[in-house]
Amino acid sequence: MQPRSLRDPERLLFELSRPGRRGVALPPLDVPAPDRAALDPRYTRDEVEGFPELSETEVVRHYTRLSRLNYAIDLGLYPLGSCTMKYNPKIHEKVARLPGFAGAHPQLPAGAAQGCLRLMHDLERALCSICGMDRFTLQPAAGAHGELAGIMMVRAYHRERGNPRQVVLIPDSAHGTNPASAHIAGYRVEQLPSNERGCVDLGALRRRMSEDIALLMLTNPNTLGVFEGEIQEIASVIHARGGLLYMDGANLNAFVGRARPGDMGVDLHHLNLHKTFSTPHGGGGPGAGPVGVMRSLEPYLPVPTVEKEGEVYVLRHERPKSIGKVRSFFGNFGMFVRAYAYILALGPDGLRRMSETAVLNANYLRRKLESTYHLPYDAPSLHEVVFSDRHLEDTGVHTLDIAKRLMDYGFHPPTIYFPLIVKGAMMIEPTESESREELDAFILAMRRIAEEAREDPDLVRTAPHTTPVRRLDEVGAARNPVIRWTSPQKPR
């Protein structure tokens, strides 16, 4: 056997398995053994075929080694554009684990869950104040779930007026979940072109707007990091023909405390609590995608809503025009605790400084890198900036190569090849979490990669060089995934 290197790929448990290894020894049964003859033989077996056999030490070391391969915001800059991978204060994790919160059962009667209901009620009011909306539903478990719930409310709104309408307009720079959610809700999706600044083409909107348009789904700032400065004119065009304006709140981190969607003419929008209000992003657990609405859409909110009746908080199910439930329980309650703790901890001034710092950091990166990488749109940036690989085309180095080489410098790559309207896009969002020193280190790495592309392009094209796994056949992995093992040694 060859000596192990820290750069070696970690083997699977099936490969580490050795017959007879055990990590636990159970005492003899002190109760009568079950009568297996009474059980359906289809549901019993003596052994699990191919089940890995390892000692406790081997299992612990395996997962510890895997954990050391993970990249996280606790290790360094995580510059995924439009995803806002920011630092989550650890005190909020502690608050979410308080016994009264963490131990609350979903079927507790309202009288035994007053603290939880009050927190949800107060969080909703805080979000209304921050966003300029009249009501919020906290039910959706993610941003895309919130989109679907919002569009269902829009359909109910138009149906009550005798015309459910057929079309949802979506800009060509939108997040992919926007057209998917509209399609699932039963609408036909039409793409709206961007102008030379990367914003909605107001002229094209005016030409297309008619009474078959249910709503326009708009991200603001958009996926180029550019604020839609004509948003009030856009709202006027939509409203003049009876349509509604939906705002994708993925990029709310850019202007919290500085502007409010409700003041812009937005009728409804969802938030991603993980992107703006310090809740975990991913990790396999439930997320949160609250949807805010103006008064005209309030009757259609999902049930139940949290209401205050005198000094008592209740879950109200009696809403005759509601779209119904969009999930069974508020199983993502821990996300509400974290978000509310974040809002209370920062307060209005702190939230404003948070967004201002996010914008400052993004523009610092832009200024330092715009002479090295191509800037496809020169409109002012907010929370993120989009570059392209155009300046390096003559070297044969492309965006994917740059992203892979960044891993050798210890950084997680930014979002690449999105938005689709930018060829070879690199979307970078530093958030407010990063210090100037961390930003300078990232800038230096990006500049060095550009220099390497001209001096030794093969070095960049074959990156990464320092990771346990090098370039993967990503297309092959997607089309032919190995998801089942036929033996401890060989995958099928």
pLDDT at 6: 58
Evaluate whether 491 touches 482 at the Cβ level (below 8 Å).
Answer: yes
**Alpha-carbon span 439 to 434, nearest angstrom:** 7
DSSP state of 386: E
Q: pLDDT digit string (tens) for 56-91?
A: 999 999 999 998 888 888 899 999 998 899 999 999
- 491: confidence class by pLDDT, cuts 50, 70, 90: very low
For residue 51, pLDDT beyond 60: yes
pLDDT at 285: 63
Cα dist from 349 to 130, 255, 256, 353, 354, whole Å? 12, 12, 10, 6, 9
Please report where in the chains the tokens 């699977």 appear, as a residue.
12
- 2: confidence class by pLDDT, cuts 50, 70, 90: low
Structure tokens at 29: 């049964």
Which ranges constitute the DSSP H helices of 114-165? 114-131, 143-160
Q: What is the DSSP string of 59-79?
A: HHHHHHHHHTT---TTTS---
pLDDT at 473: 86
Evaluate whether 461 touches 2 at the Cβ level (below 8 Å).
Answer: no
Structure tokens at 248: 């994708």
Assign 452 to helix, strand or coil.
Answer: helix
Q: pLDDT digit string (tens) for 268-321?
A: 999 999 999 989 876 556 789 999 999 999 999 999 999 999 999 999 999 999
What residues contact residue 20 under an 8 Å CB cut-off, 6+ apart?
53
- Interval 342-359 mean pLDDT: 97
For the chain, the structural domain boundaries read 13-67, 90-345, 353-477
Q: pLDDT digit string (tens) for 454-483?
A: 999 999 999 999 988 888 888 898 899 887
Cα dist from 192 to 167, 221, 449, whole Å? 12, 16, 36
Reported as type and span, the H/E element at residue 180 is helix 177-184
- Residues 200, 202, 205, 210, CA torsion sign: positive
Question: Which CATH architecture does the domain made up of 353-477 adopt?
Answer: Alpha-Beta Complex (3.90)
User: How crowded is residue 392: how many other Cβ atoms within 10 Å of its Cβ?
Assistant: 23
Answer whether CATH 3.40.50.10860 is correct for domain 90-345. no
- Secondary structure tally for the chain: helices H, strands E: 15, 12
Q: Is 141 exposed, middle or buried (0-12, 13-18, 19+ CB in 10 A)?
A: buried
Structure tokens at 95: 């608050």
DSSP state of 306: E
437: β partners: none
What residues contact residue 109 under an 8 Å CB cut-off, 6+ apart?
none
- Interval 400-416 mean pLDDT: 96
More confident residue, 332 or 354: 354
Evaluate whether 268 touches 291 at the Cβ level (below 8 Å).
Answer: yes
Please report where in the chains the tokens 């915001």 appear, as a residue.
73
Supply angle C-alpha 421, 423, 424, rounded to 5: 130
Evaluate whether 217 touches 178 at the Cβ level (below 8 Å).
Answer: yes
Structure tokens at 228: 């839609």
Chain mean position to CA 435: 23
For residue 492, pLDDT beyond 50: no
- 3: confidence class by pLDDT, cuts 50, 70, 90: low
Q: Max CA-CA distance within the chain?
A: 80
**Residue 104 corresponds to which amino acid?**
A
Structure tokens at 137: 């539903």
Structure tokens at 431: 């958030």
- Interval 222-241 mean pLDDT: 96
Of 132-146, 268-282, 286-300, 390-404, the range with the lowest mean pLDDT is 268-282
DSSP state of 89: -
Mean pLDDT, rounded, of the chain: 93
190: β partners: 169
What residues contact residue 473 under an 8 Å CB cut-off, 6+ apart?
none
**Alpha-carbon span 171 to 230, nearest angstrom:** 14
Please report where in the chains the tokens 């359909």 appear, as a residue.
155
For residue 124, pLDDT beyond 60: yes
User: How crowded is residue 36: how many other Cβ atoms within 10 Å of its Cβ?
Assistant: 9
Please report where in the chains the tokens 């050795």 appear, as a residue.
18
